[in-house]
């Protein structure tokens, strides 16, 4: 009788396993090409609205640098004197008409100061584009990891449903043979119903995860996802004692340095604006009374009485001090964030290695022994159900731990991402 029962269970196990692997609910064909994480990141980088905004920001900064290097436009001016008066100036008989133009001459290095501000703003725009690209990579990585983990949860749920169906058949055989109470069959049926319902739930979550990933990358996912991504754990000795953090060249610190460079260039521009500009230009004057022509040369310079530029310099200096303080705060914050992220990644790696290794192996062995003992009448159904429940929970915990490590590793890579040109400002 035991041999017949074992044969029935083996045949049912093979059939349900094959159905779980190539069932109609599979999202893509099993022979489809693997759609890698790098492909997803590349697709998202080209379709993300944030990346488009960053590109437009760089274009605007380059145009601003061109504008900053332009010289002031000349001014055409004209005037008519000695008209509509009294005596000999009645009417326009004594009119003097002057036509000419004035050329503004910038002094104090204003043009160079404006260009320096524009260059600093362009560098900041390029760093912002790198920040957005790093953020997009982090977001896509997290969505990709979640989609892979969701697919693996579906496989686990299907396997648990297969095991529950096998347990139900075993309980039915035991009840029909008079070796067990009908209550065992009812318990097994409840476990099978719950397992099937869990498959449906996990399928919906997997579809949602794939839809979110496809929405982020701006295209449908044609192939299988790289399931091996979750299993890429570091060596045991990779995460030892935390090393000192070097934030030089990171995106966050480069952005703070760029803000300081803009503020510093603003101080130079404010100082240059204190120097008054000259307006010079030749003109031609026509004397109506004698019909003669004469040349006129004009020079004008503003008198800094009400606005001498000191307030603008004080404002720019305060902004530079603020940017310098913010730069130091950013350095401290990024050091703390990297330290915390590295610790979380190390802990996640330890948890993932244990959950997917010894803990999972022990749970699988316990469930195997419980199945054999239940078929041979050595263990009761409650022991079997408890072992199967422990195995299911351990498998899900292993998937969660592997996904948590991959997300933690991606977070570390985001925080330590290097700025373009090394972040030197």
The model's pLDDT over 26-40, given as tens digits with 9 standing for 90+, comes to: 445 556 688 889 888
Is the per-residue pLDDT at 11 higher than 50? no
pLDDT at 240: 54
Binned at pLDDT 50, 70 and 90, residue 150 comes out as very high
CATH code for the domain of 226: 1.20.1600.10
Residue 246 or 59, more confident = 59
- Give the pLDDT score at 31: 61
What pLDDT score was predicted for residue 266?
A: 96
pLDDT confidence bin for 16, thresholds 50/70/90: very low
Tell me the pairing of strands 75-81 and 34-35.
Answer: unpaired
Model-level pTM? 0.78
Residues 201 and 251 in one domain: yes
3-state secondary structure of 406: helix
Q: Is the pLDDT of residue 4 over 60?
A: no
| The domain boundary residue, chosen from 308, 333, 353 | 308
DSSP assignment letter at 26: -
For residue 286, give Cα distances in angstroms to 139, 270, 291, 400: 73, 42, 7, 91
**Distance (Å, rounded) from C-alpha 18 to C-alpha 15?**
5
- Centroid of chain to Cα 362: 38
Which stretch of DSSP H or E encloses residue 294? strand 292-300
Considering the domain architecture, whether residues 354 and 249 belong to the same structural domain is answered as: yes
Q: Are residues 151 and 238 in the same domain?
A: yes
Q: How far is CA 396 from CA 155, 160, 190, 356, in A?
A: 10, 11, 20, 10
Q: Residue 359: which residues within 8 A CB-CB, separation 6 or more? A: 394, 397, 398
Measured torsion, CA atoms of residues 28, 34, 39, 44, in degrees rounded to the nearest 10 = 20
Pairing of strands 34-35, 224-225: parallel
Q: Would residue 248 count as lying in a domain?
A: yes
For residues 252 and 301, membership in a common domain is answered with no
| Structural domain includes residue 26 | no
pLDDT at position 21, please?
36
Q: State how many domains the chain has.
A: 2
Residue ending a domain, choose from 257, 291, 308: 308
Residue 186 lies in a domain: yes
Residue 345 lies in a domain: yes
pLDDT digits (tens, 9 = 90+) for 226-284: 989 888 888 765 555 566 777 888 999 999 999 999 999 999 999 999 999 898 988 88
Does residue 338 form part of some domain? yes
- In this structure, are 165 and 243 located in the same domain? yes
Give the position of tokens 């390029």. Answer: 126
Q: What average pLDDT does this structure show over 365-378?
A: 79
Statement: residue 219 has pLDDT above 50: yes
Q: CB neighbours (10 Å) of residue 240? A: 8
| Strand-strand pairing, 278-287 and 75-81 | unpaired
Within this chain, do residues 88 and 66 fall inside the same structural domain, yes or no? no
List, for residues 331-340, the tens digit of each pLDDT value: 999 999 999 9
pLDDT band at 25 (very low <50, low <70, confident <90, very high): very low
308, 332, 361 — which closes off a domain?
308
Q: What is the pLDDT of the chain when averaged over all its residues?
A: 83
Do 142 and 255 lie in one domain? The reply is: yes
More confident residue, 369 or 120: 120
Q: What per-residue confidence (pLDDT) applies to 321?
A: 96
Question: How many Å apart are CA 319 and CA 203, to the nearest integer?
Answer: 54
Based on the domain organization, do 390 and 359 belong to the same domain? yes
Answer yes or no: do 244 and 378 share one domain.
Answer: yes
Supply the pLDDT for residue 9.
35
Instruction: Give the residue numbers spanning the domain of 303.
Output: 73-105+275-308
* pLDDT over 90 at 47, yes or no: no
More confident residue, 104 or 8: 104
| 423 has a pLDDT exceeding 60 | no
pLDDT at residue 91 greater than cutoff 80: no
Tokens 């017949």 label which residue?
4
Residues 145 and 217 in one domain: yes
Same domain, 203 and 281: no
We report the CATH number of the domain holding residue 87 as: 2.20.200
Q: Residue 65's pLDDT is what?
A: 94
Asked if 38 and 96 sit in the same domain, the reply is no
pLDDT band at 18 (very low <50, low <70, confident <90, very high): very low
Task: Find the helix or strand (DSSP H, E) in which 115 lies.
Answer: helix 110-176
Confidence category of residue 424, pLDDT binned at 50, 70, 90: low
Residue 416 lies in a domain: yes
In-domain check, residue 21? no
**130 assigned to some structural domain:** yes
- The Cα angle at residue 138 between residues 334 and 244, in degrees rounded to 5: 30
């Amino acid at each position: 009788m035991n041999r017949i029962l074992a044969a029935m269970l083996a045949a049912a196990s093979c059939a349900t396993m094959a159905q779980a692997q190539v069932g109609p609910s599979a999202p893509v064909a099993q022979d489809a090409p693997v759609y890698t994480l790098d492909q997803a990141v590349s697709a998202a980088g080209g379709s993300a609205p944030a990346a488009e905004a960053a590109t437009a920001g760089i274009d605007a900064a380059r145009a601003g640098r061109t504008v900053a290097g332009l010289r002031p436009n000349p001014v055409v001016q004209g005037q008519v004197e000695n008209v509509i008066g009294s005596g000999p100036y009645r009417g326009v008989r004594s009119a003097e008409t002057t036509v000419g133009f004035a050329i503004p001459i910038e002094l104090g290095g204003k043009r160079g100061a404006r260009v320096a501000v524009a260059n600093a703003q362009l560098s900041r725009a390029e760093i912002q584009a790198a920040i957005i690209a790093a953020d997009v990579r982090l977001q896509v990585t997290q969505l990709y990891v979640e989609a892979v983990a969701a697919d693996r949860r579906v496989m686990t749920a299907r396997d648990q449903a297969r095991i529950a169906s096998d347990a139900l058949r075993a309980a039915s055989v035991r009840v029909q043979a008079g070796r067990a109470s009908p209550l065992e069959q009812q318990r097994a049926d409840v476990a099978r119903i719950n397992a099937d319902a869990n498959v449906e739930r996990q399928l919906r979550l997997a579809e949602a995860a794939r839809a979110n990933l496809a929405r982020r990358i701006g295209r449908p996912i044609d192939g299988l996802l790289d399931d091996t991504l979750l299993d890429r754990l570091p060596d045991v000795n990779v995460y030892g004692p935390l090393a000192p953090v070097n934030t030089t060249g990171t995106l966050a610190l480069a952005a703070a340095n760029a803000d300081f460079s803009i503020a510093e260039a603003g101080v130079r521009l404010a100082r240059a604006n204190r120097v008054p500009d000259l307006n010079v230009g030749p003109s031609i004057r026509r004397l109506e009374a004698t019909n003669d022509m004469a040349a006129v040369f004009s020079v004008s310079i503003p008198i800094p009485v009400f606005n001498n530029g000191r307030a603008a310099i004080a404002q720019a200096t305060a902004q530079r001090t603020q940017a310098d303080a913010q730069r130091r705060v950013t350095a401290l914050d990024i050091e703390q964030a990297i330290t915390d992220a590295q610790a979380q990644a190390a802990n996640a790696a330890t948890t993932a290695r244990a959950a997917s290794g010894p803990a999972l192996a022990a749970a699988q062995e316990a469930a195997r022994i419980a199945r054999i003992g239940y078929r041979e009448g050595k263990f009761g159904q409650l022991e079997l159900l408890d072992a199967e429940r422990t195995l299911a929970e351990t498998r899900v915990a292993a998937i969660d731990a592997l996904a948590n490590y991959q997300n933690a590793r991606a977070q570390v890579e985001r925080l330590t991402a290097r700025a373009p040109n090394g972040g030197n400002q």
